[in-house]
Structure 1
Amino acid sequence: MTETLFLHSEDVTDLATPADYVEVVRDGYRQRGEGAPAQPRSKFFRDEPQGMLTTYAAVLPDTGAMGGYMYSAGFGAADAWFMTPVFDAESGAPLALLDGASMNPHKTGAAGAVGVDVLARAESDTLAIIGSGAQARGQLRATATVREFSDVRVYSPTPENREAFAADFDEALEATVRAVDSSEAALSGADVVITATKASKPVFDGDDLEPGTHVTAMGQYSPDKRELDTTTIERATYVPDLRERATFDAGSFMIPLEEGAVTEDDIHAELGEVVAGVKPGRTSDDEITVFDSGGTGIETVAAAYMLYERANEEGLGTEIEFAPASEALTGN
């Protein structure tokens, strides 16, 4: 039997700072840029009851870990559950099983922050956020560790939500954080734009982007849904988390591709290639850049392994046992 650590969401909630997540996720993407295996998510749908089962995975050799996410959303309970297995990349043995819900905004926010760090202008100090939910909060916490923002504007369609978001972060950050009443107002003069919404149609007009803006889009991963319009993709240097995902479930790229506005040659690079220095990132101050973040096993494994190590150090979690196949299949 092999002992494996089970970590509940409450076990890992306070184990790492946003900067900690950014550090390990950046290194995970560096490994991907140097050839580490990762695949886009697989999605399985059911109509009655309506729901989705999703899984994705990655191997991070330098970290010494591999694994990914499997989660269900919807179905009869109309809720979601996130399971995160982590394996030793040398022995293959299971190291940990995490209740991965609480880390989700942190690891996803960290991926967005890495995109900002390698693609946005170094002097960027004005940030626009479209969306006000848990993912938008995770994006802001992480992104604030890679740029010194002085002005943050948040827009979401519900005034109460954007006002609450602004009030919470205006106290937490050195920047002035304020709610605005339109996406146009958020984008005006913004150096960095983050979209973290459930919208199925573009949430701003690409003509409103000023030269030199960086955009991180992370709220959609469906071929027929998108947060960014065709104009944005046409104007931008486009960088997805995984090249394969850009033509699999990245609606923001796939719809312009179907329209003939762009070709697959317009996929500039994967994020990992930029992080690893295999491909250049931004090449001019006037360049508009896009990081399309749909979620991968890269940030999941990097974050989960960090939490596993820290939980071990703190004596957190519950030991459970797995039988290796050599025992379970033979009964020996």
Structure 2
Amino acid sequence: MTEALFLTSSDVADLAEPTDYVDAIRDAYRQRGFGAPAQPRTKLINREPPGMLTSYAAVLPETGAMGGYMYAAGFGASDAWFMTPVFDAESGKPLALLDGAVMNPFKTGATGAVGVDALARSDATELAIVGSGSQARGQFKTTTTVRDFETARVYSPTAAHRDAFATEMSEYANFTVNAVSSTREAVSGADVVITATTAAEPVIDDTNLEDGVHITAMGQYHPNKNELPPRTIERSLYVPDLRDRATQDAGSFLAAMDEGLVTEADINAELGEIIAGETPGRTSNNQITVFDSGGTGIETTAAAYMLYERAQAAGRGSEINFAPASDALTG
């Protein structure tokens, strides 16, 4: 038998700040850039009752951890549950099982922030957010740690939602966040644009984007999820979290491929390759850059292991026992 920690969302909710997530995930993508193993998600769809079971995983050799996510959504419940196992990368032993719900917006947001830090202009001061839910909040709280923004604008279709986001994030940040009534008003003049939606059609117009803008699109996790116009993909320096994911379920890239505007050769690099210095990122201030962040085991494992270590130090969680396979096979 071996002992592991079971950590609830309340066990880990106060253990890390946005900057902590950003630092851990930046290092994890650096490891990926030097060859750390990771694969795109596997998604199993059930039609009756409707739902899906999704998983993805990664190994972070330098961190000494491996793990990922497995989550179920739907099946009549109209909700989702996130289970996050963490294993020791040397021995293979289980270290922890986390309820991944509370960390989800922060680990996803931190991945977007790492993309902004790697690809956006260093003098970026204007931020635009399309979307106003929990993922948009996570993106805002983490992205504002990597650039000195002076103003931000948020758009979402429901006025009450964007107003609430603007009020809450203005109080959180040291600058004003304005709610606006169109995506055009949000993105025009922005140095960094974040799309955090579940849209099936592009949520921005390419003609409203300024030269030199960086875009982080985090709602691109299914072939039918498509936040960016094909023309934007065509004229940008396109960087996904995982190269293989771009042609599997990155909706906007697939739409641009379908129109004959791009091919696999137009995938500039994975994010980790840029962070590791293996491939250049932005090469001019006029260049448009896109980071396509659809979700991987890289950020999940990095965030979960960080929270596991901090929970251990704080005496959080409850012990659970696992029997090795040899016991079952020989018992």
TM-score band w.r.t. shorter chain = over 0.9
Counterparts of 1:190 and 1:196 in 2: how far apart (Å)?
16
- C-alpha distance in 1 between matches for 2:122 and 2:276: 18
Q: Tell me how far apart the structure 1 counterparts of residues 225 and 62 of structure 2 sit (CA, whole Å).
A: 35
Task: Say what the alpha-carbon RMSD is for the aligned residues.
Answer: 0.6
What's the CA shift for 1:284? 0.1
2:219 and 2:225 in contact (8 A); partners too: no
User: Could you tell me the percent identity over the aligned residues?
Assistant: 69
Within 2, Cα distance between the matches of 1:212 and 1:72?
A: 39
Code of the residue aligned with 2:20 in structure 1: it is: D
The size of the alignment, in residue pairs, is 331
Letter in 2 for 1:219: G
Aligned counterparts, 1:24-173, within 5 A: 24-173=24-173
Conserved 8 A contact 2:170-2:177: yes
One-letter amino acid of the structure 2 residue matched with residue 117 of structure 1? D
Tell me the distance in 1 between the aligned counterparts of 2:281 and 2:75. Answer: 41
How much has 1:164 moved relative to structure 2?
Answer: 0.1
2:272 corresponds in structure 1 to 272
Could you give the per-residue CA deviations for residues 148-192 of structure 1, whole angstroms, max 9, x where no partner exists?
A: 111110000000000000000111101111100000000111000
- Runs of 4+ in structure 1 deviating by more than 2 angstroms, as ranges, are none
Alignment check: 8 A CA contact 1:205 1:231 kept: no
Distance in 1 of aligned mates of 2:228 and 2:307: 33
Shift of 1:222: 1.0
1:298 aligned partner: 298
Give the conservation status (yes or no) of the 8 Å contact 2:11–2:311: yes
**Aligned match of 1:220:** 220
Q: Unpaired segments of 5 or more residues in structure 1?
A: none
Q: CA deviation at 1:317?
A: 0.2
Pairing 1:286-325 to 2, within 5 Å after superposition:
286-325=286-325
Q: How far apart in 2 are the matches of 1:327 and 1:53?
A: 29
**What's the offset of the Cα at 1:207?**
1.6
Residue identity opposite 2:279 in structure 1: K
After TM superposition, the score normalised by the length of structure 1 is: 0.99
* 1:23 equivalenced with 2:23 (yes/no): yes
Q: Could you tell me whether the CA contact under 8 Å between 2:220 and 2:292 is conserved in 1?
A: no
1:283-307 CA-partner distances (Å, limit 9, x unpaired): 0000000000000000000000000
- State the secondary structure of the residue aligned to 2:68: strand
Amino acid at match of 2:32: R
Structure 2 stretches lacking a partner, 5+ long: none
Q: What is the TM-score of this pair, normalised by structure 2?
A: 0.99
Counterpart in 1 of 2:195? 195
Question: Which residue of 1 is the match for residue 4 of structure 2?
Answer: 4
| CA distance in structure 2 between the aligned counterparts of 1:265 and 1:207, rounded to whole angstroms | 25
Residue type of the partner of 2:162?
A: R
Deviation at 1:232, TM superposition (A): 0.8
